Amino acid sequence: MDYLEIQGGKPLSGKVPISGSKNAALPVIAATILSDGEVKLTNLPDVVDIRTMLTLLSQLGSNIEHQTTNATINTTTINSTKALYEIVSKMRASILVLGPLLARFGECEVSLPGGCAIGQRPIDLHIKALEKMGAIIENKGGYIHASAPNGLSGAKIVFDQITVGGTENTVMAAALAHGTTTIVNAAKEPEVVQLCEMIASAGVKIKGIGTSELEIEGTSGRLLVFPTTKIIPDRIEAGTYLCIGAITHSTLTLTDVNPSHLGAIVDKLETMGCSFEIEESNITIYPAKTLQPIHIVTLEYPGFPTDMQAQFMAVASIAKGESIIEERLFENRFMHVSELNRLGADIWLKGNIAAVKSVENLYGAEVMATDLRASSALVLAGLIAQGTTIIRRIYHLDRGYDNLEGKLLAIGADIVRKKDR
C-alpha cells in the first residue's frame, strides 16, 4: 500500500494551480443522465472519486471518453438502472444517480451507502423529497428500489435540515418532472449553484439559484441538451493550500480559484493574522507574524465549511493560545484528533467540541489517514513537524486531492510517495 513520507520544516514558496472541484463535478457527472446526447465536461480534477463516478455511469451502459481533465459522456446507451453495491460502497456520492435515473427511466435500484468514517450520514431527506414527488421507494436487500410509473410530479419540498446531496438529487429529479418543484431550505453551496446553472443552461427554468428557495419547472420527461460545462475551482483544495501557507509561514499564490467562494476561509485566516492579496482568479496568502487562536463553528455555506475543519485544527495546533472548534454537521468528524496528537498537538475533545491548546512544535511520527480531509490535516502537520512523518492509508487523499505531492514538490516541500514492500 502507498504511504507518504514528509521531512518537515522546509520553506515553501511559489504558485499552486487549483484543480476543478470534486464535489461540483460529481453531481454534474450524475446530471448527464438527464441528457439526450453527448455532454462535454472540462476542468475535471484528476482524482479517484471522479474515476469512480465515471465507472458507475459506464457500468449503467454510458459511453465515456475520459482524458485526465476532460470527459465526453453519452448516456443515451444506458441499459441498466442498477447502481451496484461494489461502487456505491466505495463512494457515497454515488447516491447522486438516484434522482436522475428515477426521473429519466421511471425506476432504478441504488445500493444503500451505509455509514462512513465521518458519521452515520443517512439519506432519508433524499428519499422523502422523491416520495413527495410521487416516487414509491422500498428498502430491500440493501438496495433502494425506486419507481415512479407515471413519472415524477412537481411538489413543495421543505428540508428540515440543509443537505447538499439531497438538494442536488431533488434538483435533478425536478428537472424532468411534470410541473413545478419548490425546494425550501435548499443548500446554497457553490457546487449546488453549478449544478443548477448547468441544468438551466439546458433550458430548464430555475428561479432562486444560489438562494435557499429554488423553483424548478420540469420538462415533463423531455431530455436535456447540455452545452460544454466547465467545472468550477475546488474551494476546499484552495482552502487546504491556504492553510498550508498559514501553517508553514509561507507566501503562496493560488491560481485558477474563485475568491468569492473562499470568504469564510479567508476570514478565519485573517483572524489568525494572515493577510491576502486577492485578484480575479488568483489569491496570495502572506503569513502571520504570530498565528493567533481561533473559534470555529462549522456551518452550511456561506458559513465555515466542515470540509476545512481538520486542516484548520492542524494550523490552530501551533497558534499562540487556545482555539475552540465546534463540528455541527458530522457527529464523528474528529478522527484526525488522535493522529494530530501523535504528532505532538495538544487537542482535547468533548462531544462535538475540540479545544486546541498551543504547542511550540510538532514532531514527526507514523500516522494513519482516516478520511479525505483528515488526511490533508496530517499532511499540513507533517510539513512543519520536526523530522520524518509517515502517513499511511493515503488512498483517502487520492480520492479528492489532484496531484498533491506534485503540487507540494513544486513549492519546495520534501514529500515522497513510497510503497510497502
- Distance of alpha carbon 153 from alpha carbon 73, whole angstroms: 27
Beta-carbon count within 10 A of 15 CB: 14
Choose the stretch contacting ligand EPZ; rule: CB under 6 A; options: 123-131, 133-141, 222-230, 337-345: 123-131
Strands 82-83 and 107-111: parallel
> Would you state the torsion angle of the CA atoms of residues 72, 76, 81, 85, taken in this order, to the nearest 10 degrees?
-20
Q: Which of 261, 268, 373, 407 binds ligand EPZ (CB under 6 A)?
A: 373
Q: Which of 165, 233, 259, 364 binds ligand EPZ (CB under 6 A)?
A: 165
125 is an interface residue for ligand EPZ by CB under 6 A: yes
Beta-carbon count within 10 A of 43 CB: 18
396 is an interface residue for ligand EPZ by CB under 6 A: no
Q: From the candidates 116, 196, 243, 274, which is the catalytic residue? A: 116
26 is an interface residue for ligand EPZ by CB under 6 A: yes
Q: Give bridge partners of residue 298 from the DSSP assignment.
A: 304
Residue whose cell numbers read 471522479: 50
407 is an interface residue for ligand EPZ by CB under 6 A: no
- Distance of alpha carbon 299 from alpha carbon 329, whole angstroms: 7
Minimum Å distance from CB 168 to ligand EPZ? 7
327 is an interface residue for ligand EPZ by CB under 6 A: no
Catalytic-residue membership of 108: no
Beta-carbon count within 10 A of 290 CB: 11
Question: Length of the chain in residues, anyone?
Answer: 421
Please, which residue, 157 or 288, has the CB nearer to ligand EPZ?
157
93 is an interface residue for ligand EPZ by CB under 6 A: yes
Q: In this structure, are residues 325 and 356 in contact, taking their beta carbons and an 8 Å threshold?
A: yes
Strands 275-278 and 282-286: antiparallel
Interaction mask 235-274, ligand EPZ, x per CB under 6 A: ----------------------------------------
Interaction mask 190-209, ligand EPZ, x per CB under 6 A: -x------------------
Annotated active-site positions, please? 116
Residues that bind ligand EPZ (CB under 6 A): 23, 26, 93, 119, 121-126, 161, 163-166, 191, 306-307, 329-330, 372-373, 400
